[in-house]
């Protein structure tokens, strides 16, 4: 009788551990995929800036180039500004644009 109880407890504990390990690896994969996509998009943006003859870029340009949302385009522009590649002109709204440094 005791061996059956131990077997059930072992099976239950093993199932919970397996579930948690499986769940963790999916989350890590999602994060890795998101980081990879951001890295690819930042590379595209840097190439775009290097090859662009016009010194100005705006949020709309980023959205069209990368097919991303307004918020994501803002994040990318902020990252480029932090890296010192562009400088924001204007404070907020649709008249904001960025100049290559």
For the domain that residue 95 is a member of, what is the CATH number?
Answer: 1.10.10.10
Sheet of strand 56-57: strand arrangement? 56-57, 97-100, 86-89
Q: What is the pLDDT of residue 24?
A: 59
Range of the domain at 68: 2-100
Q: How many domains does the chain have?
A: 1
The residues that bridge with 99 in the sheet, in sequence order, are 56, 87
Tell if the pTM clears 0.85, that is, is over it. no
How many Cα atoms occupy the beta-carbon half-sphere of 14 within 13 Å? 6
How many Cα atoms occupy the beta-carbon half-sphere of 5 within 13 Å? 2
Average pLDDT along the chain, 101 residues, taken 10 residues at a time: 78 79 63 88 93 90 94 94 94 88 88
Instruction: Give the number of other Cβ atoms within 10 Å of residue 18's Cβ.
Output: 10
């Amino acid at each position: 009788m005791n061996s059956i109880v131990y077997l059930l407890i072992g099976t239950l504990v093993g199932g919970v551990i397996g579930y948690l390990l499986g769940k963790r690896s999916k989350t890590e994969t999602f994060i890795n995929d998101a980081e990879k996509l951001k890295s690819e998009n930042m590379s595209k943006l840097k190439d775009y800036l290097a090859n662009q003859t016009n010194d100005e870029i705006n949020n709309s340009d980023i959205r069209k180039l990368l097919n991303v949302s307004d918020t994501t385009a803002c994040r990318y522009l902020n990252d480029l500004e932090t890296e010192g590649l562009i400088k924001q002109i204007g404070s907020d709204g649709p008249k904001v644009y960025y100049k290559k440094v």
